[in-house]
A and B are shown apart, each in its own frame.
Chain A
Amino acid sequence: MEQEQKSIFNFSFDENSKEHIKTIGQWAAINAILAFVGLILNIVQFVMLSRGVYRRATLFNFNLSPQNGFTLFVQALISVLLNVFLYNASVHLKKGVEGMNNEMLGKGFGMLRTYYKIYGIILIVALVLVVLGLLFLNTFRRY
């Protein structure tokens, strides 16, 4: 038991780990902010399209349809949900390392875990929907 407890206390982040965690925190914050910026730009683009501002097709542009509106809504919902966790994780990780605060660092890793968990679950749902969609299309084609 003593040996086990000692082992836990000896396993700590070193200076290299702290540097890596700090950079992870910085880039996680940058990525979360960029995701919000990207989302706002997509909404602006959609509004411009719906008001008929676009007169000609542009690079990688999409056709305006109710499906695009729904897709954008789902994209916004997922993006906000995911990136709030990513941003909070980055804040806690940075504070944890800079203030040498174990509790804060633990919370940061906890939020990073939640971020990847939500990401994974959304991926599973998306894959299931794609497979069901393909099966439906295949069945529909036959008739």
Chain B
Amino acid sequence: MDQLQDDFLSSENELRIDNETSGYLIETSKWAKFIALAFYIVTGIVIMVFLFYGSDISETYTRRRSFGSGRDVESAFFIGIVIALILIAVVVAVTYYFLLAFANKMQAGIATENIELVNNGLKSLKVHFIIIGILMIIGILVTLYNISNT
């Protein structure tokens, strides 16, 4: 009983992972896992579609945009799209790997009450947020370039 009282008093001065907080963290992990997997699946589908219909897409697009005709323009466009797709796939893979890692580690950490796993999960979420932040800065710079380049 004394031990329990001591634990309660010391817990007043620390940040506890109580039932409410752990419930929030587990639910966050479930949604984060779903989002990460959805991004992986969608990126996979886009790459598959391009692998099967890539040449048709680039042919139609170059014709519609009046970039010119001929095999050279089409193949240049095709290579450009392939490079862009590889870049997008790498960015999505890395960004959402950390979100998935957060979800897995956090769920395991809460279930086993292992603070090391919880910390690793939080670290993964931190890296995910940093990558998203850097990508947003790049996006803003591109938009600024568009606005200034009138």
Contacts and interface: CB of A to CB of B under 8 A. Distances in A.
Please determine whether chains A and B interact with each other in the same assembly.
yes
B88 interface: no
Nearest to B139: A38
Interface string A6-34: 11111111101110110110011011001
Given A106-B24, A117-B27, A60 B142 contact: yes
A106 B137 contact: no
B17 A12 contact: yes
B115 to A, nearest CB: 6
A59 B150 CA distance: 11
Interface of B: 3-4, 7-8, 10-11, 13-21, 24-25, 27-28, 31-32, 34-35, 38, 42, 113, 115, 118-119, 122-123, 125-126, 129-130, 132-133, 136-137, 139-140, 142-147, 149-150
Secondary structure call for the B interface: helix
Contact of A61 (B17, B113, B130, B146): B146
A119 to B, nearest CB: 6
B149 to A, nearest CB: 5
Given A37-B140, A41-B143, A113-B28, A27 B129 contact: yes
A44 B147 contact: yes
B146 A11 contact: no
A129 to B, nearest CB: 13
A53 B148 CA distance: 11
A42 B133 CA distance: 17
B15 A18 contact: yes
Nearest to B99: A116
Contact of A109 (B14, B28, B42, B129): B28
A64 interface: no
29 contacts: A8-B16, A11-B17, A12-B15, A12-B17, A13-B118, A14-B119, A17-B118, A18-B15, A23-B126, A24-B129, A27-B129, A34-B136, A34-B137, A38-B143, A45-B143, A58-B145, A58-B149, A59-B145, A60-B146, A100-B14, A102-B15, A105-B21, A106-B20, A106-B21, A110-B20, A113-B24, A113-B31, A119-B35, A123-B35
A31 B129 CA distance: 7
Contacts of B146: 45, 58-61
A58 B150 contact: yes
Contacts of A17: 15, 115, 118-119, 122
B147 A24 contact: no
A24 B3 CA distance: 34
Contacts of B119: 14, 16-17, 20
A6 B123 contact: no
B110 to A, nearest CB: 9
Given A27-B130, A112-B28, 5 more contacts: A6-B3, A6-B7, A11-B16, A28-B129, A35-B136
